[in-house]
Amino acid sequence: MPDLRIQQPHDDAALRDWQHVHNTIIPTHLLSLDEIRERARRHHLEVAYLGDVLMGCSTVRPPEDSTRTATVIARVLPAHRRQGYGEQLYARGLERARELGAEVIETVVLGSNEDGLRFAEKHGFVETERYLLPGDTIPWIDLRLV
């Protein structure tokens, strides 16, 4: 089995890989390469490969000063789910959030992503809010680690 390789995207090719995973899993909120470049300046992004095969990505939104709350999001393409890769992405994201000073960890899942919601709940997250963004028909679900 190929080794899992997780790295920060340092060039456009890797940013496009991150974009592909994000836009596949979040088809209601497609991001352009420019939007991802901007996110990479504010957030800690990683992209994951099995050997040379793209399998996932993650985002850590650093903690906000007043609440010490960070957001950790792990995304795994459907063909690679239920094999432990999400666990590894999530663990890295959680570790990074805590290194950045997070005391509270949250995540957000698109309501149609049943696998993502099950993963979050299995890992101790509980729903705190469900909402629609303007123009959306599928709700976003905010969850907090308890």
Instruction: Per-residue pLDDT tens, the chain, 146 aa: give them.
Output: 578 999 999 999 999 999 999 999 999 999 999 999 999 999 999 999 999 999 999 999 999 878 899 999 999 999 999 999 999 999 999 999 999 999 999 999 999 999 999 999 999 999 999 999 998 899 999 999 99
Per-domain residue ranges of the chain: 4-145
Neighbour count for residue 58 (Cβ, 10 Å): 25
pLDDT for residue 65: 77
pLDDT for residue 1: 59
pLDDT for residue 50: 95
Q: Tell me the C-alpha distance between 27 and 137, whole Å.
A: 12
Q: Tell me the C-alpha distance between 32 and 142, whole Å.
A: 23
Q: Tell me the C-alpha distance between 96 and 59, whole Å.
A: 10
pLDDT for residue 130: 97
Whole-structure pTM value: 0.94
CATH number of 4-145: 3.40.630.30
Report the 3 state secondary structure along 98-109. HHCCCCEEEEEE
pLDDT for residue 2: 72
Structure tokens at 68: 């010490």
